[in-house]
Homo-oligomer: A and B are copies of this chain.
Amino acid sequence: MIHPSAIVSSRARLGVGVRIGAFSIVHDNVDLGDGCEIGSHCEIGHPSARSGGRPLVIGASSLVRSHSVFYEGSTFGERLVTGHRVTVREGTEAGVNLQIGTLGDIQGTCRIGDYVRFHSNVHIGQHSTVGSFVWIFPYVVLTNDPHPPSEVMRGVTLEDYVAVATMSLVLPGVRIGRGALVGAHSSVSRDVDVDTVVAGAPAKPVCPTADIKLRDGSGQPAYPWRRHFHRGYPDAVVEAWLAEFGHGKAAPTKDHE
């Protein structure tokens, strides 16, 4: 299960059935859960003076794709899935089922909830706090320094179910409320209310998320997305969402016509 060309420390703790790809390196201070798969050309558990001696812990059934680099001193729940060329620095604490797309750059010292999905090429600055079921789309940056360069760090907070669309920037210290949507190519400089769409640079409130309709001919609302988008989530989660919205019955959006 370990490719003969891989370099795996005898001190690393590997669960049952762990697979390590060709030309990958696994350092000493690493704990990989059962069934984890590491792709080729990775470096896992890169030593760091900033890790405080803590290990890199990756939960069971995770998949780290090729050319990725993880430092020691971070913890991931089960079923982490990454794209290629992901970088994760020290001090990241993430829940279960995190997805990090290709080229993702997680700068460390941040908190990430469960079932979070980062698409390709996102940059999560230090001191970011990301809730559960959050979506971040390509080329989004979460910043932290209000007057760079400085020693003042004000991380961003994204509450549960927030979605930040492509090529948007969230400025230091901003809090984005539960279920809010940041439109593409926006620069968010002020806090965002729950279930609100903001857009522009600087981003301004546009409408409640419920006003956006699905462009599939159904006339149904596009948000909360958990009403209609279930791909990749476990059955128990989807069932809870369906219950929240009346077990999938079509909402009567035109009942007064």
Interface-facing stretch out of A11-19, A54-62, A74-82, A138-146: A138-146
Chain B residues positioned under 8 Å from A69 (CB to CB): 66-67, 84
Contact A166 B166 (CB under 8 A): no
Which of B7, B66, B102, B165 meets A148, CB within 8 Å? Answer: B165
A171 to B39: give the CA distance in the assembly, Å: 33
Contact A231 B151 (CB under 8 A): yes
Question: Which residues of A94-132 have CB atoms within 8 Å of chain B's CB atoms?
Answer: 102-103, 105, 107, 117, 120-121, 123
Which of B22, B165, B171, B215 meets A7, CB within 8 Å? Answer: B22
Contact B25 A147 (CB under 8 A): no
- Asked if A150 meets B229 with Cβ closer than 8 Å, knowing A66-B43, A143-B166, the reply is yes
Interface residue? A223 (CB, 8 A): yes
Interface residue? A175 (CB, 8 A): no
Nearest-CB residue, chain B, relative to A172: B215
Contact B169 A184 (CB under 8 A): yes
Interface size bucket, A side?
35 or more
Interface residue? A137 (CB, 8 A): yes
Interface residue? A206 (CB, 8 A): no
Which of B166, B187, B201, B216 meets A141, CB within 8 Å? Answer: B166
Interface residue? A29 (CB, 8 A): no
Contact A147 B215 (CB under 8 A): yes
Interface residue? A41 (CB, 8 A): yes
Contact B123 A138 (CB under 8 A): yes
Contact A87 B84 (CB under 8 A): yes
Nearest-CB residue, chain B, relative to A197: B147
Contacts A/B (CB < 8 Å), 22 sampled: A23-B23, A23-B25, A25-B40, A41-B43, A41-B67, A46-B66, A66-B69, A67-B85, A83-B87, A87-B103, A102-B105, A105-B121, A105-B138, A137-B148, A139-B139, A148-B163, A149-B225, A150-B214, A152-B215, A166-B169, A169-B184, A171-B184
Q: Other than the known A5-B7, A102-B105, A147-B225, what 7 A-B pairs have Cβ atoms closer than 8 Å?
A: A7-B22, A25-B40, A41-B67, A105-B121, A152-B214, A185-B201, A200-B201
